[in-house]
Each structure stands twice: as structure tokens, then as C-alpha cells.
Amino acid sequence: METLQVSLGERSYPILIGPGLLGEADVLADLITARQVLIVTNEVVAPLYLATLEQAIAADEQHAIVLPDGEDQKTLQTISTIIDALIEHGFHRDACLVALGGGVVGDIGGFAASCYQRGIDYVQVPTTLLAQVDSSVGGKTAVNHPRAKNMIGAFYQPTCVLTDTDTLKTLPPREFAAGLAEVIKHSLILDHGFFVWLEGHIDDLVAMDAAALGFVVRRNCELKAAIVAEDERERGRRALLNLGHTFGHALESLGGYDRWLHGEAVSIGIALAARTSARLGWLDEDDCSRIEALLRKAGLPVSAPNIEVDRLLERMSMDKKASAEGLRLVLLKQIGEGVIVPSPEESLLRDVIETQTMVQQDYIDGLSESCP
């Protein structure tokens, strides 16, 4: 078991990483000391891990909420349901909420914990690669608005994160690939050496080699924790983590949140950001090819068929990253160095999106059975 500290002053917390962590009652008893615990999870994760976790937690009073699966659960209504349960069970301010699941469960659980009685303790137990390498680090919680993603939420840090890498064994391949999109993103904006390492080990990762996976989870948490420690509330540098996300969120929103997994939309967004960076003279053709090759080897799409370009551009302008000064994008100066810049003119973006859609059509056709 490894422990990594996220340094945020009085809001600092540890991330514990190791196989089999979920069942280690001794470790959990030290970390979850509340007498009242509510576990929030979903119908996919509950049959696999809920009983193990419930047994390992030593609270006097324990309840669980099992949500339906899917991004469409990220609503204010779900938050209201969780709060009703907390009140129903007479949960006090020193209670603890445990989010057992992927990014969606973490986002919901974290936001509910942040606003129940103005904030109770919460512990994240991420069970997807995406959650383990990305969403469990940094304290972003939110639900969606029908018109845009993650519009209602809070910056709220957990008291600890328990990452049991064994849970990845039960992850469907498509979900696993979606997590790799964020891994690749971290390497692209922050760490050229890690990108090269990924090029050399992508097959091991896809084969779920334990050593490669352990390294990837830890390295990603380190990279993300460092940037969050610098800029917790995303006033500046933290926005680098949004590489591919402005394109990606717009795609997800157009697809009604169920057409693409978040990581898949981000993967397409990364490819579009790379191509935009190339138009500005920062990346060359070879860089773009390497990036797309790595995304594809990870099992990810690099373009979406039948994009309605006008609607996509319109959704992008509603993105949280937009300010009164206009949309800002994360692009790449080179592999391993992200930059935050005012968006290039719409005609350039339109051209990049249209070209990417055409060029990649053959590849997409081949994917069309696994990715909708």
C-alpha cells in the first residue's frame, strides 16, 4: 500500500493506493471514525463491492443508497434524495458520507456531502480507472444542468481517498479505455517523459498488467495533486487539466450524456485540441499522429461521426471555461506542455472539426459497433 498526500493546508488529505484495500478493516477503522456512515454507490458497483466495504467499516450506524447507473443521475434531484435520507436517518454534522464508485458517484456524493449541514466528512472509494487517476483527486464535485455539464457544484475536498486497484479487474473494457483518456491527457499537458513511457507500455496497460497499472495510478495522482495544490479553485494553472474538455463537454451535452462516455468525449477533444495546436504551428504532423495513435491503442475514438458543427460550437461557448472575455481553450505548445489561450477564431475551429471528421471516417466506421 502506498500513501500520497494532497497538500492543501487545512484541507490536505491522503490518497491510499493498493490492491485489496477495500477489505482492510484495520486501515478503514483508522480513517473512517464517524459513528454514522452513509455509503452512496450505484447498482453496478453495489453487487461487486458494497458488502466488502460495509463489513470493513466499523461505524455504529450504517446505511447505503444504491443509485441507478449513469451520468443522467447527476441531477439536483439526486442530491435532494440523498439529503432526505441523511435527514431521515437523523445524521449529524459529524457523520461521514462514503462515495463508492466511479466519477459520477464521486461527483454526486461529494456535492451532497458538501452541502448537507454546510459540509460533512466524505471519503472517496473510486472503483473506475477514470475516478482513480482523475476525478477522485482535487475536490471538484457537481451535478449537471439539462443544458450544460457540471454547472451546479462545489470545490470540496474529501477527508481521504481509498484506491483499491483490484477493483479495476471488474471494469468493462470501454470504461477502462475512458480512464486512459485522462491518463494520456495528464502526460500531454505536464510530462513528456510520461507520454513516452505510455507509448512504450500501452499494451501492458490494456492487458491490465498489475505493475504498469499501479505505476500509472500513482503517477497520475502525483501529477494532478501537484497542480491542484498550486491552484485549488482553478483561477489559473489548474485549467490546464481541461485539455480536451471544452470540445468533450460540448460533445457529451449534444449526445445527451449517454452517447459518449466522458473519457471518450475527452479523447475526441484531445485529438481536436492537438489538431488546433498544429494549425497554430505548435505541434507538427508527427506529434498529432503519435497522440492519435496512442489514443487509438488505448481503445479510444479520435473523432465523432456526423458532428453538427454549429451546435457543437454553440455549446462550447456555454462552457464553464468561457468568461465574459470569451472562450479560452487548453492547447499544446508541445507534447508535455499545455497552455491556456483565448480561443482561435471560430472559422479555424470549424475547419479543424470538419477536417478531423472526414479524415477519421474510415476509422470510425470500424469502431461503430463498439462505440455508439
To a copy of itself, the closest distance from the beta carbon of 129 in angstroms equals: 24
State yes or no: residue 87 binds a copy of itself (CB under 8 A): yes
Element at 122 (helix H, strand E): strand 121-126
Of 36 and 167, nearer to a copy of itself (C-beta) is: 36
Identity at 55, one-letter amino acid code: Q
Q: What is the widest separation between alpha-carbon atoms in the chain?
A: 61
Single out the residue of 72, 173, 230, 233 in contact with a copy of itself (rule: CB under 8 A). 233
Which residue stretch of 93-101, 172-180, 195-203, 260-268 sits at the interface with a copy of itself (rule: CB under 8 A)? 93-101
Spatial separation of the C-alpha atoms in residues 205 and 177, rounded to whole Å:
10
State yes or no: residue 318 binds a copy of itself (CB under 8 A): yes
Judged by DSSP in three states, 9 sits in: helix
Spatial separation of the C-alpha atoms in residues 288 and 33, rounded to whole Å:
49
Query: Is 249 labeled as catalytic in the residue annotation?
Result: yes
Of 119 and 305, nearer to a copy of itself (C-beta) is: 119
**CA triple 236-195-262, angle to 5 deg:** 65
Which of 47, 282, 310 is CA-nearest to residue 188?
282
Spatial separation of the C-alpha atoms in residues 41 and 364, rounded to whole Å:
33
To a copy of itself, the closest distance from the beta carbon of 234 in angstroms equals: 8
Interface characters, 245-284, with a copy of itself (x: CB under 8 A): ----------------------------------------
Interface characters, 139-158, with a copy of itself (x: CB under 8 A): -xxx--x-xx-xxxxxx---
In sequence order, what are the beta bridge partners of 342?
A: 328
Single out the residue of 42, 114, 157, 242 in contact with a copy of itself (rule: CB under 8 A). 114
State yes or no: residue 66 binds a copy of itself (CB under 8 A): no
Of 196 and 322, nearer to a copy of itself (C-beta) is: 322
Element at 340 (helix H, strand E): strand 337-342
State yes or no: residue 123 binds a copy of itself (CB under 8 A): no
